[in-house]
Structure 1
Amino acid sequence: MTSHIEEGISSRLPSEPPPLPYSLRTRKKAIAIFWTIFIIDTLGQPLILYWTLWYLTNLSHNLVFSVVTAAIGGVSVFEYFYRLYNLLRKGSRARPLNARSSWLDFFHINFTLVWLILAVELIVGSVPHEPYVRLIAMVLPTVMFYFGFVHLTLDVLRMMGFKAPFRISSTPKGAPMPTALYALIEDVVAVDGGGGQIYRYALRTRYLSSPYFRRMLFEMNCFWSGGSIIFAAVITALVFTLPEPVAFTLGWSLPFAWAGIWTLITIPWVQSDLRREKEAWAQNVGQGGEPCVDQVRAPAARTRFTSVQEAIPSILPWSRNKEIPPSVPPAGPCDIEGLPPKPASLPDSTPAATLENQPLGPESPSQIEGDEPTQHPMTSTDERGTDVGHPTLPSEKN
């Protein structure tokens, strides 16, 4: 009798992790155009202006750097206000789940802070009659230091068991501290990538349902934030020891070289881990802890970077707790901290219904061929079908 019950339960378990309704394959052209413009604006423009105006004109050094600093970051400034508009506009479907209309996502908060730091750096460096060339060369290393320390600190606090002191994107205040890379991916794809709240909902479902996915993001965050801090320190040492022309050139170019190398390492690494995650779900292996709950040390199948995370409990005294006994993946959709049930536009996590290759716009939910049109996951309708807005939980409105 017991075996029949167990067979019935296992047959209802999902064979794959909850899908993410977003694909980069359909956006290759847009991504290529953006990064081409960004690199020209942030790498090519400062170096070309510096070398041509400094050595080929009779302009004062102060005026040269006034021109250089004024021309820096046009794409970033546009992106900043584009994101701000999308987050704050009435009826926005890009803002964090269950957040107030005035609440910015975690990435935009950091975007604002880092721009304030860079503004001070550029003003102080370019105002003197003889500009501080080395300080102006530290713009990109400063960004690397900032995001590296912020992201690493967030994950250290997570490992120490701290709760979120305020809403971090879609993670409500008082919930377990999310891994920083999860918040970054959620915000960038939802706003800049046009995934909207549908993507935020799907990513949160995946994050809470899959201990393997959470561990992979933790490891990847350590790789990027740790590498960012180390290489920013190396670049800083070069900037303040080499001749000024060389220092300026390296300060603006080496961060791009580092990011390119890290990206080339990351792509096959993540692809391999996502395959391993699917295999673990298909075999019901290594899914541990309480289903649909973000437990930091919930057991999961081995990842490609497991050695880093396995070493932490032996080093950090607060992480020496006994691991949570294994369990099974959730048999149904997670009730994500009071959010509405899974929208019909998001499929069950089965191979036939996976939407990973389906494009998704920011304003409308995806629709599988033959399905009835569905409302946005974060809106509700009255009896006449009229949109009555975004449901918000009083306990999560902060």
Structure 2
Amino acid sequence: MILVANANEDDQDSYTAGRMAGSAQEEARVLGAWTPSTLHSSSYEKLAQKKPKLTDHLSITIGPIMIIIFDIVVPCIIYYIWFDIHRSHWKSACRSYEACRFTKPEFDKQVLGYAIISFGLGELYILIARVCRLLWHPDECAPLLSRSRWELDATSWVYGVAMICALIPFVIGSSKELPELYLYSPGVLMAFLGILMLITLIPLKIPIGINSQAKGTPLRPLVYYAAEDFIAVDGLQDREFRIRYNARYDSSKAFRRMLLGLTIWWIFGVCVYLGSLSAIIWIMEFHYAFGLSLGILFAYILIWAAVSYIWLQIGINRERKVQEISV
């Protein structure tokens, strides 16, 4: 069902007025006009109700595979093939001298540049895949307050800026042959996201609409926006999910606390990751740190995502039980 196309003229006028006024009450009334009557029967119904097939949007489905290939496998292949070849040459040259006169090879700006290209391809692919879905199917998955398909969603813009933040130390570190700065590049990306998470803990009134949230309402934790966008767009749950998700956040204090807790959990994870990354960079030789720095990044993401999923399931089940008891 295409919600915007089915809204009548009066609802559209009310929607525009509510957005300009930034009134949470008006927003709720307008969203209610778009929502099927069954959505009002329970505040704790299942949020993600669609069961999409893996082939429904294949370009998004293969996204995690592309990230693993281009962000871990290919960079390691590029670097360690170069490292093995040059290390063997170094050993052969050093056999001719009692004291080796040649510098032990650890990195080269050209090979590091190739690794950058590979690392960027994985991230860029994911961004392009979700942006294409937002551009081609705006009536299905765009944010509720979106007035143009070119507005995309908050996650797309944050994703793009985060990639640029990581690219800067990558390029400088390889071109100036600063190995520590090069290895810190993924950490710069996560630090940027961590700072954003901290900012979203401040309940400031937003000057513009963000996703499906009207301007003038308090800023919500970053995990709230990320979950809405990823599940609606990448999870193929579309605008119906955005409506239920916003309604749940407005109506449930426990749901709001849970998303706040998850945001704090990810902030803590960023600190753990940056500490671990720093220890690897400054203690180990570059050829060890190169692979491990990528490994702990994905280990951190997997561990924190798994705990977040379990946390989310426990919180939702607890809410459901409370609702059943009250009814």
Normalised by the size of structure 1, how large is the TM-score?
Answer: 0.60
Pair 1:231 & 2:273 matched: yes
Q: In 1, are the aligned partners of 2:50 and 2:237 still within 8 Å (CA)?
A: no
Relative to 1, partners in 2 of residues 1:261 and 1:78: Cα closer, same or farther, differing over 3 Å? closer
- 1:107 Cα shift? 0.9
Match of 1:45 in 2: 74
| Aligned counterparts of 1:28 and 1:274: Cα–Cα separation in 2 | 28
| Aligned counterparts of 2:186 and 2:51: Cα–Cα separation in 1 | 26
Pair 1:124 & 2:151 matched: no
For these two proteins, the number of residue pairs brought into alignment is 267
| Aligned counterparts of 2:313 and 2:152: Cα–Cα separation in 1 | 31
Match of 1:139 in 2: 185
Match of 2:114 in 1: 67
Pair 1:80 & 2:127 matched: yes
Equivalent residue runs for 1:286-305 within 5 Å:
none
Higher helix fraction: Structure 1 or Structure 2? 2
Write out per-residue CA displacement over residues 293-345 of structure 1, whole angstroms, 9 at most, x where no aligned residue: xxxxxxxxxxxxxxxxxxxxxxxxxxxxxxxxxxxxxxxxxxxxxxxxxxxxx
| Aligned counterparts of 2:42 and 2:159: Cα–Cα separation in 1 | 38
Q: In 1, are the aligned partners of 2:142 and 2:153 still within 8 Å (CA)?
A: yes
Write out per-residue CA displacement over residues 201-255 of structure 1, whole angstroms, 9 at most, x where no aligned residue: 1211222122211111111111112212332233124313422222222221111
In percent, how many aligned pairs have the same letter?
Answer: 24
Relative to 1, partners in 2 of residues 1:24 and 1:137: Cα closer, same or farther, differing over 3 Å? farther
Pair 1:183 & 2:231 matched: no
- 1:91 Cα shift? 4.9
Pair 1:222 & 2:251 matched: no
Matching residue's letter, 1:151? M
- 1:114 Cα shift? 1.0
Pair 1:19 & 2:42 matched: no
| Aligned counterparts of 2:175 and 2:118: Cα–Cα separation in 1 | 15
Equivalent residue runs for 1:141-156 within 5 Å:
141-155=187-201
- 1:28 Cα shift? 11
Task: Choose 79-88 or 47-56, whichever is displaced more.
Answer: 79-88
- The structure with higher relative contact order (CA 8 Å, sep 6+) is 1
Match of 1:388 in 2: none
Pair 1:271 & 2:313 matched: yes
- 1:265 Cα shift? 2.5
**1:115 paired residue among 163, 166, 191:** 163
| Aligned counterparts of 1:182 and 1:91: Cα–Cα separation in 2 | 20
- 1:111 Cα shift? 1.0
Q: In 1, are the aligned partners of 2:281 and 2:289 still within 8 Å (CA)?
A: yes
Matching residue's letter, 2:169? E
Q: In 1, are the aligned partners of 2:169 and 2:181 still within 8 Å (CA)?
A: yes
Match of 1:203 in 2: 245
| Aligned counterparts of 1:115 and 1:197: Cα–Cα separation in 2 | 27
Q: In 2, are the aligned partners of 1:96 and 1:170 still within 8 Å (CA)?
A: yes
SS class of match (1:260): helix
Q: In 2, are the aligned partners of 1:54 and 1:61 still within 8 Å (CA)?
A: no
**2:83 paired residue among 42, 47, 54:** 54
Following superposition, which runs of at least 4 residues in structure 1 exceed 4 angstroms of deviation? Answer: 13-16, 23-33, 57-60, 89-92
Match of 2:29 in 1: none
Write out per-residue CA displacement over residues 66-96 of structure 1, whole angstroms, 9 at most, x where no aligned residue: 2211222323212222333333458543221
Q: What are the ranges of 5 or more consecutive residues in structure 1 without an aligned counterpart?
A: 1-12, 286-398
Matching residue's letter, 1:48? I
Equivalent residue runs for 1:94-105 within 5 Å:
94-101=141-148, 102-105=150-153
- 1:192 Cα shift? 1.9
Q: In 2, are the aligned partners of 1:86 and 1:92 still within 8 Å (CA)?
A: no
Match of 2:11 in 1: none
Q: What are the ranges of 5 or more consecutive residues in structure 2 without an aligned counterpart?
A: 1-39, 90-104
Relative to 1, partners in 2 of residues 1:16 and 1:107: Cα closer, same or farther, differing over 3 Å? closer
Q: In 2, are the aligned partners of 1:16 and 1:282 still within 8 Å (CA)?
A: no
Matching residue's letter, 1:21? A
Normalised by the size of structure 2, how large is the TM-score?
Answer: 0.73
Cα RMSD for the two superposed structures: 2.8
